[in-house]
Chain A
């Protein structure tokens, strides 16, 4: 019989120190975690809170060789428990998993990023790269939140607004709110694009928002192959085993979560 081979076990989480906790809203915090490995925007980690479980959380910020940011909304068992974790303590992580965004694809020509709610997390690194690109005037970002109270990354939004063409909107707001009110799709027809047929687009958010945003982009003349979406699914293992994130023949954790629209349009739940 074959002997037990000693190999690294992909299910073993590693401890990572919480360097900083940033409060965005009552329900949404960013945890800056010590991490020195390779990672791309759009990838995700499985965050463990022993005895409560694991949750897949996408990377919302990267300091190469130092840290990754995990922006977490308090909505479930695991995330509730994480909110009791403070700087100096450790959390257990596995990852990063998934393909992530190829940022180099978006920095040269015209690019549109449309993100909704916590969907801003996985594209934060992409927007950051666009803001620092040589042609920021060609970069258009539409970010939508449910209400003014739900806004994430306020400081980043202020910075991005100065660097590139940012449209910040909320689905609804109390009377007297000075900013944009309306769904992200409302702003697509007016995007000042020179040539939509060659522009790249990144769309991340809740499924209906992604659906109607893509339709809006296609009607502006975007090519399907230039549209990129990131899918959110329940990923228990992140390793292509547990089955929960499968859509057709694709495993979101292995083949995604970032998909080209030519693929994702045939991925039916």
Chain B
């Protein structure tokens, strides 16, 4: 069922939803970007549509709700181990955590990314209890895309149309908004505040400026191909590409302690990046992939090859955030195309 709403109507609807849900959406943080007078669009909890940035791509993805930058897993007291509690609204003190389910507003590519996160945390080895606990509480609302943003390449990754699994969609329609409501239980909240009913199809991208071709076969010789060499000097191994990526899932375990005289402390996991020093360090000082180019190869192949070999579909969803955030203007899309060209060149040689 679709509804047309003006801003006041939509806000009344969001108010009604807030009785039962927390709302988590992209928010423009004015002046909080990397440089003076530059904004950043990050996810945060919202109450009204005025809080939501509908017209720009978020610089950081929604994934922090499912895989927080830093997540406490255990508290240690002497010889006892206590499991940390679940997710609360920001700032809620321990024990009073808000346990309402969360509706996450995201775009089609990001909803495809959720499948990748689920694959890793729920479908690769045993179920990750901490992830599952939050995931159980997360629902989705789809933000329509009536055009592609710069650097998006969702069409080529097959992620421009949202998969099922969203409760309702939200698009601008003239001065107001159009919502398609897939979840019947939520329909009354929309119907009560709508200007009218109408068939609504969420907008999706039909054209990208950026195009990628993923490799259909990666020969072993690619690992030593000179195409990676330029990144030895261009890439500064800052790992921002991984932190903004909606499909990167790596983390590192980290213990901290509160006092120096007892065994009191906590175990956390913090987001990690295969681009950053220390990622592969093993006890005794050995490490693998010391050069930036090797790390770039490891990351890129995971996104468009290795993950597919394991799970049958590509990891990258084509959101282009890595290209937007890179301080060295390295284009992931360009690397993928170079990689595919090099693979095809190798294949031609073999024939």
Cβ contacts under 8 Å, B307 to chain A: 249
Give bound CA distance, A52 to B266, whole Å.
10
A109 interface hit (Cβ, 8 Å): no
Q: Report whether A9 and B250 are in contact in the complex, using a CB–CB cutoff of 8 Å.
A: no
Q: Report whether A11 and B283 are in contact in the complex, using a CB–CB cutoff of 8 Å.
A: no
Give bound CA distance, A199 to B111, whole Å.
51
Q: Report whether B267 and A4 are in contact in the complex, using a CB–CB cutoff of 8 Å.
A: no
Question: Could you say which of A9, A51, A90, A92 contacts B83, with CB atoms under 8 Å apart?
Answer: A9
Known: A2-B136, A12-B74, A269-B294. A239 touches B126 (CB 8 A): yes
Proximity bits, B125-147, A CB within 8 Å = 1, else 0: 11111101100110000000000
B322 interface hit (Cβ, 8 Å): no
Q: Which of B256, B281, B284, B286 has the most CB of A within 10 A?
A: B284
A236 interface hit (Cβ, 8 Å): yes
B329 interface hit (Cβ, 8 Å): no
B313 interface hit (Cβ, 8 Å): no
Tell me the minimal C-beta distance from B212 to chain A in angstroms. 20
A75 interface hit (Cβ, 8 Å): yes
Known: A51-B263, A243-B250, A269-B294. A75 touches B285 (CB 8 A): yes
Tell me the minimal C-beta distance from B113 to chain A in angstroms. 16
* Complex interface residues of chain A between 32 and 70 (CB less than 8 A to chain B): 48-55
* Complex interface residues of chain B between 231 and 260 (CB less than 8 A to chain A): 249-257
A110 interface hit (Cβ, 8 Å): no
Question: Could you say which of A51, A239, A246, A249 contacts B255, with CB atoms under 8 Å apart?
Answer: A51
* Minimum CB distance partner of B137 in chain A: A1
A73 interface hit (Cβ, 8 Å): yes
Q: Report whether B283 and A50 are in contact in the complex, using a CB–CB cutoff of 8 Å.
A: no
Q: Is the interface of B mostly helix, strand, loop or mixed?
A: mixed
Proximity bits, B154-175, A CB within 8 Å = 1, else 0: 0000000000000000000000
* Minimum CB distance partner of B308 in chain A: A249
Proximity bits, A69-96, B CB within 8 Å = 1, else 0: 0000101100100000000001010000
Interface size class of A (residues with CB under 8 A): 35 or more
B149 interface hit (Cβ, 8 Å): no
Cβ contacts under 8 Å, B23 to chain A: none
Give bound CA distance, A242 to B221, whole Å.
27
Give bound CA distance, A199 to B186, whole Å.
67
* Minimum CB distance partner of A78 in chain B: B283
Tell me the minimal C-beta distance from B99 to chain A in angstroms. 9
Q: Report whether A236 and B309 are in contact in the complex, using a CB–CB cutoff of 8 Å.
A: no
A29 interface hit (Cβ, 8 Å): no
Interface pick from B27-35, B272-280, B339-347: B272-280
Q: Is the interface of A mostly helix, strand, loop or mixed?
A: loop
Give bound CA distance, A2 to B132, whole Å.
11
Q: Report whether B256 and A51 are in contact in the complex, using a CB–CB cutoff of 8 Å.
A: yes
Interface size class of B (residues with CB under 8 A): 35 or more
Cβ contacts under 8 Å, A253 to chain B: 125
Known: A1-B136, A4-B136, A254-B124. A249 touches B129 (CB 8 A): no
Q: Report whether B283 and A76 are in contact in the complex, using a CB–CB cutoff of 8 Å.
A: yes
* Minimum CB distance partner of B249 in chain A: A243
Q: Report whether B284 and A73 are in contact in the complex, using a CB–CB cutoff of 8 Å.
A: yes
Give bound CA distance, A266 to B305, whole Å.
14
Question: Could you say which of B128, B257, B285 contacts A51, with CB atoms under 8 Å apart?
Answer: B257
Give bound CA distance, A207 to B286, whole Å.
10
Q: Report whether B81 and A12 are in contact in the complex, using a CB–CB cutoff of 8 Å.
A: yes
Give bound CA distance, A1 to B125, whole Å.
25
Cβ contacts under 8 Å, A75 to chain B: 283-285
B209 interface hit (Cβ, 8 Å): no
Question: Could you say which of A15, A237, A268 contacts B223, with CB atoms under 8 Å apart?
Answer: A268
B336 interface hit (Cβ, 8 Å): no
Tell me the minimal C-beta distance from B126 to chain A in angstroms. 5
* Complex interface residues of chain A between 214 and 269 (CB less than 8 A to chain B): 232-234, 236-237, 239-244, 246, 248-249, 251, 253-254, 266, 268-269
Give bound CA distance, A244 to B281, whole Å.
9
Proximity bits, B63-79, A CB within 8 Å = 1, else 0: 00000000001101001
Proximity bits, B210-234, A CB within 8 Å = 1, else 0: 0000000000100100000000000
Cβ contacts under 8 Å, B126 to chain A: 10, 239-240
Give bound CA distance, A9 to B74, whole Å.
11
Question: Could you say which of B81, B120, B136, B309 contacts A249, with CB atoms under 8 Å apart?
Answer: B309
Tell me the minimal C-beta distance from A145 to chain B in angstroms. 14
A13 interface hit (Cβ, 8 Å): yes
A206 interface hit (Cβ, 8 Å): yes
Known: A13-B81, A15-B79, A92-B81. A242 touches B124 (CB 8 A): no
Supply 8 A–B pairs (Cβ within 8 Å), ascending by A: A1-B137, A11-B73, A54-B253, A79-B283, A241-B124, A241-B128, A243-B251, A249-B306
Closest 4 CB pairs of A and B: A240-B125, A243-B250, A51-B257, A51-B265
9 further A-B contacts with Cβ under 8 Å, apart from A233-B282, A243-B274, are: A11-B74, A11-B130, A52-B255, A54-B255, A75-B284, A232-B282, A241-B128, A243-B272, A253-B125
